[in-house]
Amino acid sequence: MQPLADDIKIWAGELGFLDCGIAKAEFLKDEENHLNEWLQKGYEASMNWMHNHKEKRLDPSVLVPGAKSVISVLFNYFPESERSDPTARIAKYAYGKDYHFVLKEKLNQLALRIQSQTGEFQYRIFVDSAPVMERPLAVKAGLGWIGKHSLLINKRLGSFFFIGQIICDLELKTDSAQTDHCGNCTACIDACPTNAIVEDKVIDANKCISYLTIEHRGEIDSAFKNQFNNWIFGCDICQDVCPWNRFSKPHQEQNFMPTEKMLNYTLEEWEMMTTGEFKKMFAASPIRRTGYKGFKRNLEYVKNKANGRE
């Protein structure tokens, strides 16, 4: 009989996950210094929650008492086509329905499939939500390496995917970490318009367009004038230039298919949008995170600051 871990990977594939790997639920000692240094330098900007629950963040067995294994999965979000208006760009991950719900549902199905084999076990599902170091855990599970842009890269798949995790009390066969394949490449560092990649694998959120257009509240500093490259929600530049994404293949997930409006609305049409329309259009979209005010602020910033009107 093959080990349960091998079955789990087959079931994950059947549910549409691109890859699945397993790591031991244990203290991530290599991450402790990185996290502390990053926080000491203030690179988390206003994301104060990064200071909270450090112990849980660094050790999945503290986050989920009794946990023995972390099952990590990857799910493709690379779209068939990009938005038609290049003056109002949206990160590809946000074209469809909010990935939190979509992935949680699929992970739940995976957990139930495992339970049908093992009987009841304790587990919790995480998709970019609780204090989980999802990328280092995925590296430990053999799913890739952290690129110089700080995102997970998989040799076969590139980096346009979501990461999800099941932390559970099952003792499972683990995978080995992969080596780093960035080599001498610095394409992401060179292409970042705001110089947010301050060292290999280190992002200063204060300068990152993705942070500034989504998490940041209040005005955006005029120091970034002419540097936003028309991004109104998120930023894909460091992933778009990465050679490992040259062979990205479009996903087939209905939940992530963009609506006609998402693909074709122009900057001017977004500008005319009322609060009610924003709520309706983005009810199930990751874009609602920035709120109507934030979205309008981004549009105005891109339009005026990019065109040198201010």
Binding-site string for ligand SF4 from residue 217 to residue 236, where x marks contact by CB under 6 A and - marks none: ------------------x-
Side by side, the strands of the sheet bearing 123-126 are: 19-24, 69-76, 161-168, 123-126
- Is residue 9 close enough to count as binding ligand SF4 by CB under 6 A? no
Rounded Cα gap, residues 137 and 57, in angstroms: 11
| Maximum pairwise Cα distance, the chain | 68
All residues at 6 or more sequence positions from 15 whose CB lies less than 8 Å from its CB, including other chains: 106, 109, 110, 113
Do residues 50 and 44 touch, judged by C-beta distance below 8 A?
yes
Residue 210 engages ligand SF4 in binding (rule: CB under 6 A) = yes
User: How far is Cα 108 from Cα 89, in angstroms, rounded to an integer?
Assistant: 33
Q: Name which of residues 128 to 147 contact ligand SF4 (CB under 6 A).
A: 147
**Left if phi > 0, otherwise alpha if psi is -120 to 50, otherwise beta: which for 22?**
beta
128 assigned to active site: yes
**Residue whose CB is less far from ligand SF4, 5 or 197:** 197
Considering only residues 152-191, where is the footprint of ligand SF4 by CB under 6 A? 153, 182, 185-188
**Is 306 a residue that touches ligand SF4 (CB under 6 A)?**
no
| 149 contacts ligand SF4 (rule: CB under 6 A) | yes
Compute φ and ψ for 139, nearest 5 degrees: -65, -45
The CA distance from 72 to 166, in Å, is 7
Quick one: which of 148, 216, 251, 303 contacts ligand SF4 (CB under 6 A)? 148
Exactly one of 100, 130, 131, 243 binds ligand SF4 (CB under 6 A); that residue is 243
* Contact status: 303 vs ligand SF4 (CB under 6 A): no
Residue 241 binds ligand SF4 (CB under 6 A): yes
User: 39 or 241: whose CB is closer to ligand SF4?
Assistant: 241
Binding site for ligand SF4 (CB under 6 A): 147-149, 153, 182, 185-188, 192, 194, 196-197, 203, 208-210, 235, 237-238, 241-244
